[in-house]
A and B are shown apart, each in its own frame.
With several copies, the nearest count.
Chain A
Amino acid sequence: MRSAIVTHVLDPAALLAEVSAARHGAAVVFVGTVREVNDGRAVTGIEYRAYAPMAERELATIIHEAAARSGGADIVAEHRMGRLGLEEASVVIAVAHPHRAPAFDAARYVIEELKRRVPIWKREEYVDGTREWVDPTAARTPESVAGPPRAG
């Protein structure tokens, strides 16, 4: 179980190797990458920023939650910071588990909770040279309307 906010290029194969073990029969790797289009605008790159100490803490909490729910998953997650070009990986989550269903569920849980709870922001750069902080709560696409957590 390991998670980190990093500035280096992400290596999905290394994270997969890190969770692999003979007790597991399945591994799922999720990779988030910089897409050339967002909300219909042509993107040239994304700058990621984080409230690093809290992001590391929250991400660690999430992967431990996922591991506990799954009953035995090994999970490694890294989120990259800084300026990323098209196709570059911003986040990699690797999960291994004796069985495939919990491996899929844990990987999905980590990315969904990461997007909901881990304090990371991104500024998109567009072909016209402008750039903008992305606000998923204001986005027009139906998939991004889920809001952030309200603390109790």
Chain B
Amino acid sequence: MMQVTALLFASYAEHLGRDAVSLELPDGATVDDVLRHLAALPGGDRLPPEPLVAVNLEYAARGHALAPGDEVAVIPPIAGG
């Protein structure tokens, strides 16, 4: 097992009522597993099925394999500028 941190921002943080979630995942878990865990939380049904995700500050695909301590950011539609 390993521990990773999921970060939530803006509208996503409001949907789930928090901006960070600690998750215990089996070795070999991927970004997809994090998204499934988040979707199962109260308010998680309001996350889109395929949000943008970054692992340790870099955009990552859903199949990206995680390592212990990874920071997985679930990124709402970007609206800078």
Contacts and interface: CB of A to CB of B under 8 A. Distances in A.
A136 B77 contact: yes
B81 A121 contact: no
Nearest to B51: A148
B75 interface: yes
Contacts, number: 91
A48 to B, nearest CB: 7
Nearest to B76: A121
Interface in B20-49: none
A32 B81 contact: yes
B54 A91 contact: no
Contact-size category for A: 35 or more
Contacts of A115: 78-81
Given A57-B57, A151-B53, A133 B75 contact: no
A111 B61 contact: no
A107 B79 CA distance: 18
A152 B77 contact: no
A142 interface: no
A114 B10 contact: no
A116 B75 CA distance: 12
Interface in A92-137: 100, 111, 114-123, 133-137
Contacts of A55: 80
Contacts of B9: 49, 51, 119, 121
B73 A119 contact: yes
B16 interface: no
Nearest to B56: A54
